[in-house]
Homo-oligomer: A and B are copies of this chain.
């Protein structure tokens, strides 16, 4: 099965969570917009293709199936790629954790775009400063503390009982947060030993290490979800 991933070119964005799963599994996939441009997504987004119409990228095409929404794409892909333990309970828990990661990612986005995605960051800088301060003070420790507890309550090594796409997504979440908020993340580090160890282990998985060293892995940048604006990070 050749998978077609559709996501905006130029950024890691939400597509990166799907990309990491495909890469970790060594799946045969095409990153369609990177090969043919963002316009290749338009027919799907406009409802001119069969299958469930996506509201927004990322979406994945596999044979006649078209599936959108990051967490749902992963839930659909994971059993096919061997990226989730067997059993309904594990898969349910995986989805629950992934949806909570999605919620956090949306909040990260809004730290630099609290007023409107349609405006430039520069036009909402003061609100961003306030939102980012609240995020660093309350939301960042709450979300990461939750994931840390989930790891500690399990085998200490994985979000579920064994390797899964959730671990890959937690790696991506930690990577993005370190890029965007290096000072805040440094301060939180002593409270998140399991998350840090997990992120290191994931980065060392052979296929992930190869991917991260490849040109397919774009650098984080200030067009993506995780952006580094020093004024939005902690002061020390």
Contacts and interface: CB of A to CB of B under 8 A. Distances in A.
A68 B72 CA distance: 15
A153 B47 contact: yes
A105 to B, nearest CB: 11
B114 A69 contact: no
A165 B130 CA distance: 38
Interface string A98-120: 01100100100010001111110
Contact of A53 (B68, B95, B106, B153): B153
A118 to B, nearest CB: 6
Interface in A132-162: 134, 138, 143, 146, 149-150, 153
Given A53-B149, A92-B76, A106-B106, A69 B99 contact: yes
B100 A116 contact: no
Interface residues of A, number: 40
- Can you tell how many copies of this chain the complex includes? 2
Given A47-B149, A65-B89, A130-B115, A71 B96 contact: no
Contacts of A114: 110, 114-115, 127, 131
B53 A71 contact: no
Contact of A99 (B71, B110, B149): B71
A210 to B, nearest CB: 31
B131 A116 contact: yes
A25 to B, nearest CB: 20
Interface string A39-52: 00000000100001
